[in-house]
Amino acid sequence: MIVLVLVLLVLFPLLPSSYALGVLTDVLIFGLFAMSLDLLLGYTGLVSFGHAAFFGVGAYVAGIVGIYGGPEIYFTLPAAIIAAALAALVIGFFSIRTAGVYFLMLTLAFSQMVYAAAFKAPFAGGSNGLAGIPRPTLGFGLGFADSIAFYYLVLAIVLASYWTLARLVASPFGKSLRGIKENESRMRSVGYNVQRYKLAAFVIAGAFAGLAGALRAQFNFFVAPDTLYWTTSGIALVMVIIGGAGTLIGPALGAALVQVLQNLISSYTERWPLLLGAVFILFVLYAPKGMIGLLEQRKQVDQETSTQQAKSANAL
Amino acid sequence: MTCLDALRIDRLRKNFGALAALNGVSFAVAPGERRAIIGPNGAGKSTLFNLISGELTPTSGSVFLNGADLTREPTYLRARRGLGRTYQRNNLFLNLDLFENVRLSIQRILGTSQNILRPADRFEAVNQRTRELLRQMGLLEQRTALAKNLSYGAQRQLEIAIALATEPSVLLLDEPTAGMSPAETNAITALLRDLPRTLTLLIIEHDMDVVFGLAERVTVLHYGEVISDGTVEQVRNDPRVMEVYLGVTTAARV
Amino acid sequence: MSTDTLSFIAIQFLNGLAYSLLLFLLAAGLSLIFGMMDVVNLAHGSFFLIGTYVGLTIVRVTGNFWIALVVTPLLIGALGLVVERYLIRSLYNRSPLDQVLLTFGLAFILMDLAKWIWGANVLALPAPAALDGSVALFGGQFPKYRLFVIAAGFVLAVVLYYLNDRTSFGAVIRAGVADREMVSGLGINIALVFSIVFAVGIGLAALSGVVAGPIYSAFPGLDFQVLITTLIVVVVGGMGTYKGSLFGSLLIGEVQTFGQAFFPDLALFLIFGIMAAVLLIKPAGLFGREAVA
């Protein structure tokens, strides 16, 4: 199954549709963004409503470095990751002091502050956004300007990030985060410095979100302040919940569903946000474990029916 | 005495608004001692434990562990200095399996919990220690069950296992046998009795058989004050205790 | 200081007061819903914006601002009853997070619905004729309508205080905020109380929306600006407290107004700075109760 998906992803550019390739590139980028949020939401139990801040910081920094510095990938991506991680360190330092709904409100408020700053900063292009962002290059005349080459770059980075995050959640550190999500006070009473772990998770998630943002800016050659707006955080949250929090692969599936639906539906109607909100509410009400949860339920039902069938077969 | 107290409580007070839950409590526990804290409901026993473990901050007074003043330290640092505790109501990682519940404590004391690079399953020393402790507690067979799916008795044992796994020097047990069947109570009492003498135990308990079976000394709390403190015999014969506590209990029991 | 400067400061102070009282209506509703139901209503700003829009439509149809002022909160409050009954109620036995997510989805839907019905243009609600124009005040001119907002805001603040502090329904609310299980133990129909609380909370948001209409024009996006500012107010003041909502609104409202007058580029960052400082010193907010374990 996994091999099949990988083969399809690798062979996809053979299809002659550049539109479809563009959608898939976006799916991968948002998949990474959603996975980074899942580290907080699904594994640490931190409900951040301001994850767009780091996505946006990554996008802007990759853009600014790309335009004013140079398009080399060795500069643009690390700069974006470091800047996003630093932003997460500062916002996290304040937000982590609170819990539950306060944390949620603070992350939302701080991200709106970053949005306002981008709106006002002249070097970020103000309300017009930042245009003319170059695709990354490797030097020696090699680069990812071509959309197929850029797709493969994104695919490689997203797969490597997924592998890293999957390793991370399986590591003792990742298990500690799960413990914090389950029972924060007990973690304290067995000697965990919970705040440090939360902050570390927040910074790591911010760094990956920054990486996703940088790729998105390079993909579009452009960043709008909207990248930092609450709706971007909201869409990431929707992707995680629809896909299934705490599974990494679920949020990536959620990203695929949302992006593909958006592309399909937007050509028929402008009421996409309305539909997205409705789908989201349906998931919250009836399938809180997301698509992955639904698949697992289905599997269980199948198993049960097959055992029943086996039983009735034996009876005959 | 030259020997350092394992735990010393000095004039500890805790007010909730106008109510004094703890009204200047002082006592000391020697290393290796088994001390029971008894008293009627609302005497301030759980508040006392929460103040010792750092989950509440005292209005005034101090807490010393092995001679070090912990009063201003956060909970996690107290735990690292060797203070362990269990809770009156199970306080577990309900959606994690039994093994993981204990491993979280073990990986913390073995210092691997911040490792980010290798899967947790590959830390053999941690897994080995976890298995040993679970075997000792008689929980090994159920290691893959989610904590929320365990029987109440097994959950109660896990509650103790999580605390023991941090290798505390002082362990606070808040009604370890609450809600257990007589057989389970006996098993827990036996397990606690077999714990090594390097460990100091403080036990809040309502079951007098458990108290008299385990403890060497008893501290009696009543309305946030220590009304008696001594050996089991002394406390048993203390007229004040008979009046406010044991009298009532025996009457109720008979 | 010259008299001009003094008059400028006095006028700004009054502007800030009008703004603060609008914030107070929002914060009181948000805080009430949270305190009672543990739900942070992220659609609160949306109900404010819809309130302005519905008010505008009523004014267009009837030509009367006062009808809009009374009818809009009732309509939106009724909508709140429906939302509470058919959406939020089914989530009471789930984690508070699921309820927040639900209101978040609702904010998405309402945002798009409002755009659909009222378009994306900036729309202003006309002030009632009786309150058109300005009066001379502190050597300057001050709009009559804003004076009305200040007066009405204070009257409402007193009424809310009275309802919360002196009536038996208020006593139920206060008890419910302190200890929900106790209230349901007393044989009070908690589901009904929740419905009323939610309806009143968003009715207040809609009322604030109508009152704000003639001062701040309505446009898509205002819903979230309003939500963020309201969240900051309750974080600074302390969630679930009447006093916190009142003083939080006054502080944030005045700081933002004076900030915009003197350092227009920094006004927003000023209130974020206040919020950060409060969180560092008193994480539960200025009037918030510390959590008791």
What does C13-80 look like in DSSP terms, one character per residue?
HHHHHHHHHHHHHHHHHHHHHHHHH----TTHHHHHHHHHHHHHHHHHHH--HHHHHHHHHHHHHHHH
How many residue pairs from chains A and B have C-beta atoms closer than 8 A?
A: 96
> Using 50, 70 and 90 to split pLDDT, how confident is the model at C250?
very high
Confidence (pLDDT) at A217: 95
Cβ-based burial of C215 (10 A; exposed 0-12, middle 13-18, buried ≥19)? middle
Is residue A316 over pLDDT 60? no
Rg over CA atoms, chain A: 21
Q: What is the rounded distance in angstroms from the CA atom of residue A64 to the CA atom of residue A70?
A: 9
Name the 3-class secondary structure at A237: helix
Is residue A311 over pLDDT 90? no
CB contact under 8 A, A277 and C105: yes
What percent of chain C clears pLDDT 90, i.e. is strictly above it?
A: 25
Residue A123 CA to its chain's centroid (Å): 26
CB contact under 8 A, C102 and A230: no
Helix, strand, coil distribution of chain A in percent, nearest 5? 80, 5, 15
Cβ-based burial of B67 (10 A; exposed 0-12, middle 13-18, buried ≥19)? exposed
What percent of chain A clears pLDDT 90, i.e. is strictly above it?
A: 57
What the block records as the tokens of A225 is 């302040």
Q: What is the rounded distance in angstroms from the CA atom of residue B83 to the CA atom of residue B100?
A: 21
Say if CB A175 and CB A197 are below 8 A apart: no
Q: Helix A194-220 vs helix A52-64: angle between axes, to the nearest 10 degrees?
A: 50
The Cα of A256 is separated from the nearest Cα of chain C by a number of Å equal to: 19
CB contact under 8 A, C293 and B55: yes
CB contact under 8 A, B55 and C292: no
DSSP state of C90: G
Average pLDDT over residues A235-239: 93
Q: What is the rounded distance in angstroms from the CA atom of residue A101 to the CA atom of residue C282?
A: 16
Q: In what order do the strands lie in the sheet with B60-65?
A: B19-29, B7-16, B60-65, B68-69
Confidence (pLDDT) at C291: 46
Which of C220, C217, C15 minimizes the C-alpha distance to C134?
A: C15
Confidence (pLDDT) at C292: 36
CB contact under 8 A, A174 and B120: yes
Q: Is B107 an interface residue toward C (CB < 8 Å)?
A: no
Low-confidence ranges of chain B (pLDDT < 50): 1-2, 250-254
Confidence (pLDDT) at C202: 94
Residues of A contacting chain B (CB within 8 angstroms): 167-168, 170-176, 178-179, 182-183, 185-194
Q: What is the pTM of this model?
A: 0.88
Say if CB A88 and CB A203 are below 8 A apart: yes
Cβ-based neighbours of A146, under 8 Å, separated by 6 or more: none
How many residue pairs from chains A and C have C-beta atoms closer than 8 A?
A: 97
CB contact under 8 A, C279 and A49: no
Q: Average pLDDT over chain A, rounded to whole?
A: 90
Find the residue in B nearest to A174 (Cα).
B116
Q: Is B51 an interface residue toward C (CB < 8 Å)?
A: no
Average pLDDT over residues C162-181: 74
The torsion defined by the Cα of A250, A253, A255 and A258, in degrees rounded to 10, comes to -120
Subunits with 3+ C-beta pairs closer than 8 A to B = A, C
Is residue A89 over pLDDT 90? yes
Confidence (pLDDT) at C275: 84
CB contact under 8 A, C292 and B50: no
Find the residue in C nearest to A275 (Cα).
C109
Confidence (pLDDT) at C293: 30
Q: Which residues of C touch B50 (CB under 8 A)?
A: 293
Is residue C280 over pLDDT 80? no
The Cα of B161 is separated from the nearest Cα of chain A by a number of Å equal to: 11
Of B76, B92, B116, nearest to A193 by CB-CB distance is B76
Q: What is the rounded distance in angstroms from the CA atom of residue C36 to the CA atom of residue C99?
A: 13
DSSP state of C289: P
Q: What is the ipTM of this complex?
A: 0.90
CB contact under 8 A, C108 and A47: no
Confidence (pLDDT) at C127: 82
The Cα of A2 is separated from the nearest Cα of chain C by a number of Å equal to: 31
The Cα of A171 is separated from the nearest Cα of chain B by a number of Å equal to: 4
> Using 50, 70 and 90 to split pLDDT, how confident is the model at C177?
low
> Highest-confidence range of A258-262, B17-21, C178-182, by mean pLDDT?
A258-262
Residues of A contacting chain C (CB within 8 angstroms): 47, 49, 94, 97-98, 100-102, 104-106, 108-110, 112-113, 116-117, 120, 230-231, 234, 237-238, 241, 271-274, 276-278, 280-281, 284-285, 288
Q: Each residue of A196-221: pLDDT tens digit? A: 999 999 999 999 999 999 999 999 99
Is residue C174 over pLDDT 80? no
Q: Is B89 an interface residue toward C (CB < 8 Å)?
A: no
Q: What is the rounded distance in angstroms from the CA atom of residue A307 to the CA atom of residue A300?
A: 11
Q: Each residue of C106-151: pLDDT tens digit? A: 998 999 999 999 888 888 888 887 878 778 777 778 888 888 889 8
Q: Which residues of B touch C293 (CB under 8 A)?
A: 50, 55-56
The Cα of B222 is separated from the nearest Cα of chain A by a number of Å equal to: 27
CB contact under 8 A, B16 and C292: yes
CB contact under 8 A, C293 and B16: no
